[in-house]
Structure 1
Amino acid sequence: MIFENRFQGRHAVVTGGAAGLGYGITRRILAEGGSVEVWDINADALNAIDLPGCTTLQIDVTDADAVASAMGEANPDILVCSAGITGPNTTTWEYPVADWLAVHALNLNALFYCCRAAAALMQAKGWGRIVNIASIAGKEGNPNAPAYSSSKAAVIGLTKSLGKELATSGVTCNAIAPAAVRTAIFDQMTQEHIDFIQSKIPMGRFGTVEEIAAMACWLASDEASFSTGFCFDQSGGRATA
């Protein structure tokens, strides 16, 4: 269900917005009357976007200075942090150090840079919504995904901390912890790992981009005014806490 003009007059920045969950969230914000600046590192994917009300920026969000400058230019009302990678599927003791650092650089450090820059701007306006895409892996820890699991656990912790810091400011910060959603990120996983994560979902299926976008847009709206510092599960029954 689309809520007409729910985001009228609101401007969003969506990281990793040229594909997957970020693109789905972008489309819904636009459909509900908002404007969006999509941030992504993939120039080809950005060039393929042709959506009214949408602008794009090629940016490496692991660059703190670039993020601070771009966030100041965008001055968003809404920030959705969706950029992320899974890294390889292997045990902790075999996990390559370079891959560990790369996963945390994008999934955690870049998200911190974005939240840090946006929070200051939003407080000055007295209204804002930050939505971080975490993962059920951050709550439960998937085997053979130590970097991904730990980075998403850290996202949840950061979200809780920032949400409390902003609690009286008119700005909220929440996270979503989906179980797996079939997007291009599956290309980074082994089939064995994909089968494992599906087996953990009581509903027996993966989530959809549209389902995650619906939750993200509720959290980004005026309606979610009494929710902050919380991680909302979308796990098909997998989550137990």
Structure 2
Amino acid sequence: MKIEFKDQIGIITGAASGLGQAIALNLSGKGVKLALFDRDKSGLEKTQSQLTSDSEIYPLDITIEADVESAINKVNEQFGRVDILVNCAGIAGKTNILSHEVEADNMRFVFDVNFMGSFYTSKYAIPFMLKNHYGRVLHIASISGKEGNAGMLAYSASKAAVIGMTKVQGKEYAENGITVNALAPAVIRTAMVEALPEQQVKYMTDKIPMKRCGSLEEAANTAAFIVSPEASFSTAFTFDLSGGRATY
């Protein structure tokens, strides 16, 4: 099936590297004009230099609500609409730690980035989608949000919250031409995964029946379908990208 995007505008968070960058490259190659969000300005510039469609970079911290609201308003002013939102920005926080040893500050920080950041962007992007009776929202969750990874309480719980938000938003806007879905990857080879302790990565990879990590290209291809016009009857759903690890 050929996926087509015509005159669409997309916002991608975490676009300076990893999965966000891979999705930006994929969608740009399909003609989507992009607004790229990330704290890393130099990383955004590197991503932008590789794109083939019109784009604009917005260096910002997605945990600051006022900055997110301002940036999304600017995207609408510049491009005239918002059709797609892909929330890729995320952090693992401190890992390989038992739950009773988790620091509250680390828990709050991980939730601020992984959950609140996705909440803020969808809060301010969805009203523009409602005006056009069309939109695609994709929150990047994780298999750990469904099944939990030992030693990763903050990350697992924050991604479970993202999945819960997806189910709520998907139901709320189902009659407005807007789909809201999540993607739950297992281990994808990104800089965030490379930074984890080897023991943590082995624990996660050993649970994958395919016995390998997923690639950025595999994840980006799946994401592109989910946010395409063709994916019009799936909402409030969590798509698995787990190499067989998912059990439900």
Structures share fold, TM-score greater than 0.5: yes
Aligned residue pairs, count: 239
Quote the offset at 1:98 in angstroms.
Answer: 1.4
User: What SS does the aligned partner of 1:168 have?
Assistant: coil
Say whether 1:138 aligns with 2:127: no
SS in structure 2 at match of 1:36: strand
The two structures have a TM-score, normalised by structure 2, of 0.94
Provide the residue aligned with 1:128 in structure 2.
135
Q: What is the Cα deviation at residue 202 of structure 1?
A: 0.3
User: Match of 2:86?
Assistant: 80
How far apart in 1 are the matches of 2:161 and 2:102?
Answer: 19
Shift of 1:188: 3.4
Deviation at 1:54, TM superposition (A): 2.4
Shift of 1:64: 0.6
1:191 matched to 2:205 = no
Aligned to 2:42: 44
Per mean C-alpha deviation after superposition, the further-off stretch among 225-234 and 92-101 is 92-101
Whole-angstrom CA distance in 2 between matches of 1:168 and 1:215: 24
Give 1:187 deviation, angstroms. Answer: 3.7
Give 1:26's aligned amino acid.
Answer: A
1:181 partner amino acid: I
SS, match of residue 113 in structure 1 = helix
What's 2:79 paired with? none
8 A Cα contact 1:87 1:188, kept in partner: no
Give me the whole-angstrom Cα distance separating, in 2, the residues matched to 1:88 and 1:187: 14
Alignment check: 8 A CA contact 1:159 1:173 kept:
yes
Unpaired segments ≥5 residues, structure 2? 77-81
Q: Which moved more, 1:134-143 or 1:49-58?
A: 49-58
Name the structure 1 match of 2:61.
60
Tell me the SS of whatever aligns to 2:239. Answer: strand
Counterpart amino acid of residue 143 in structure 1: A
Deviation track 1:200-220 (CA, whole Å, cap 9, x = no partner) reads: 000000011111111111111
Partners in 1 of 2:228 and 2:107 — Cα distance? 34
Query: d(CA) in 1 for partners of 2:244 and 2:46?
Result: 36
Is 2:235 aligned against 1:234?
no
**Does structure 2 retain, via aligned residues, the 8 Å contact 1:86–1:188?**
no
Question: In structure 2, what is the Cα distance between the partners aligned to 1:188 and 1:113?
Answer: 27
CA positional deviation for 1:91 = 1.0
For structure 1, the 5+ residue unaligned runs are: none
Moved more, 65-74 or 172-181: 65-74
Displacement after TM superposition at 1:48 (Å): 2.0
**What residue is the counterpart of 1:25 in the other structure?**
23
Match of 1:109 in 2: 116
Matched-pair contact (CA < 8 Å) for 2:16–2:41: no
Separation of aligned partners in 2, 1:224 and 1:8 = 15
Q: 2:207 aligns with which of 200, 204, 220?
A: 200
Out of 4, 14, 27, the residue aligned to residue 12 of structure 2 is 14
Q: CA RMSD in A?
A: 1.2
Whether the aligned pair in 2 keeps the contact of 1:182 and 1:206 (CA below 8 Å) is yes
**Contact 1:88/1:188 (8 A) holds in 2:** no
Shift in Å, 1:47? 2.5
Deviations 1:122-174 (A, max 9, x none): 01111000001000000001000000000000000000000000000001100
| TM-score of the two chains, using structure 1 as the length reference | 0.96
Aligned residue for 2:230, secondary structure, equals helix
Residues in 1 aligned to 2:128 and 2:45: alpha-carbon distance in whole angstroms: 28
Q: Partners in 2 of 1:190 and 1:162 — Cα distance?
A: 34
- Tell me the distance in 2 between the aligned counterparts of 1:26 and 1:190: 28
